[in-house]
């Protein structure tokens, strides 16, 4: 599939956080479609030293976290990682998420990254989801009443999802950034989540294929 939406279009970069043990299956749908639509994807590490994903992929970050500014980006994506539950190594990424949200720039967090945001207090007053409610409850956060049993949730500028929902996670991001209209996004989701061949006609009409 190719996307004519990306032709001649340059949009603000999307920052993809990368760190050791990152769950490399969780963000591929989102970043691939964003890149096709004209959003350059820039990887952001703790430093610019290489990191290794949980699947053994070695990633050389484009930027160090200290050099990231919300005004330069369209979105910050935080994938899950074992490190989110193994100490405070990734807490600076949650603090950066706060800076993005305070600046009105969207953040999308999936899997373990939702726990990082919970510890940072960013889910106390926003609807959200994750793997399961008791996973976030174990962080001691104050947002349990805002937990939603759904594949992915958008509240304002924040998207959250659990580890088994990379397609729904991407769907919410595509909607939030207005990459395609709602009909095309719904068709895209049906194609990649449900293998609905009938969605091809809608996507071709929208110029997504």
- Please answer whether residues 110 and 86 qualify as being in contact, where contact means their C-beta atoms are separated by less than 8 angstroms: no
Give CA 36 to chain center in angstroms: 16
Task: Give 81's DSSP letter.
Answer: B
* Count of other CB atoms within 10 angstroms of residue 48: 15
> How much is the pLDDT for 9?
60
- Please answer whether residues 119 and 94 qualify as being in contact, where contact means their C-beta atoms are separated by less than 8 angstroms: yes
pLDDT in tens, 101-148: 999 999 999 999 999 999 999 999 999 999 999 999 999 999 999 999
Of 152, 162, 155, 123, the C-alpha closest to 139 is: 123
Strand, coil or helix: 76? strand
| Dist. CA 151–CA 4, nearest whole Å | 28
37 Cβ partners below 8 Å, 6+ apart?
3, 5, 6, 9, 11, 179, 180
* Helix axes 166-176 and 182-194, enclosed angle (nearest 10): 170
| Dist. CA 152–CA 144, nearest whole Å | 16
- Write down the mean pLDDT value for the chain: 94
pLDDT in tens, 44-96: 999 999 999 999 999 999 999 999 999 999 999 999 999 999 999 999 999 99
Pair of tokens at residue 50: 């290489």
147 pairs with which residues across the strands?
128
- For the question of residue 162 being annotated catalytic, the response is no
Confidence (pTM)? 0.94
Task: Give the confidence band of 205 by pLDDT, cuts at 50, 70, 90.
Answer: confident
**Active-site residue identified among 107, 111, 136, 203:** 111
């Amino acid at each position: 599939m190719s996307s004519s939406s990306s032709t001649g279009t340059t949009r603000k970069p999307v920052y993809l956080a990368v760190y050791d043990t990152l769950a490399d299956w969780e963000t591929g749908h989102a970043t691939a479609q964003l890149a096709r639509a004209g959003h350059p994807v820039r990887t952001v590490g703790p430093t610019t030293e290489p990191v290794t994903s949980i699947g053994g992929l070695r990633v050389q970050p484009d930027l160090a976290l200290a050099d990231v500014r919300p005004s330069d980006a369209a979105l910050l994506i935080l994938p899950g990682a074992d490190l989110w539950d193994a100490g405070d190594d990734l807490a600076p990424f949650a603090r950066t998420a706060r800076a993005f949200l305070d600046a009105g720039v969207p953040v999308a967090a999936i899997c373990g990254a939702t726990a990082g945001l919970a510890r940072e207090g960013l889910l106390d007053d926003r609807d959200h989801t994750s793997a399961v409610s008791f996973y976030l409850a174990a962080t001691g956060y104050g947002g349990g009443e805002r937990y939603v049993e759904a594949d992915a949730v958008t509240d304002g500028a924040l998207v959250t999802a659990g580890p088994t929902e990379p397609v729904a996670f991407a769907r919410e991001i595509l909607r939030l950034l207005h990459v395609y209209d709602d009909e095309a996004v719904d068709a895209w989701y049906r194609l990649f989540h449900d293998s609905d061949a009938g969605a091809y006609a809608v996507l071709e009409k929208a110029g997504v294929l």
